[in-house]
Amino acid sequence: MPLELNNENFESTLSKDLVLVDFWAPWCGPCRMIAPVVEEIANDNPDVAVAKLNVDDYPELAGKYGVMSIPTLIFFKGGVVADTSIGAVSKNVIQNKINALKA
């Protein structure tokens, strides 16, 4: 189950080794489409911190990372942006990016 991010837990979550953050909004159709995929990724990769950030509730955090379109997936390694994916993408695309960052 992805962790719901907010101003209080965002930075501490990024301190984990490998983190996937799904920047989304409830009204976004493509966001709802990939939500089950993000959940599967979280279940399949217990060593990766998978989290979601509602851009409507925390626009300043979305802005800090240049999120202009949603869904945007940002992959952090060691607290630094390591990769991104914009739009509804397949599970394979997400898993391949995670696998590359684990290598």
- Are 22 and 76 in contact, with CB atoms under 8 Å apart? no
- Convert the pLDDT of each residue in 65-88 to its tens digit: 999 999 999 999 999 999 999 999
Which domains, ranges and CATH numbers included, belong to the chain? 3-102 (3.40.30.10)
Task: Answer whether residue 1 shows pLDDT above 90.
Answer: no
Is the alpha carbon torsion for 50, 17, 83, 67 positive or negative?
Answer: positive
Measure the CA–CA gap between 51 and 64, rounded to whole angstroms. 17
17 in active site? no
- Convert the pLDDT of each residue in 23-62 to its tens digit: 999 999 999 999 999 999 999 999 999 999 999 999 999 9
- Closest to 20 in 3D by CA, of 57, 102, 58: 102
- Convert the pLDDT of each residue in 3-31 to its tens digit: 999 999 999 999 999 999 999 999 999 99
Phi and psi at residue 53, to the nearest 5°: -130, 120
31 in active site? yes
> Of 5, 19, 20, 28, which residue is the catalytic one?
28
> Of 5, 19, 20, 31, which residue is the catalytic one?
31
Residue type for position 77: K
Q: What is the pLDDT of residue 103?
A: 87
Tokens 């209080």 belong to 8
Tokens of 86: 């914009």
Phi and psi at residue 39, to the nearest 5°: -65, -40
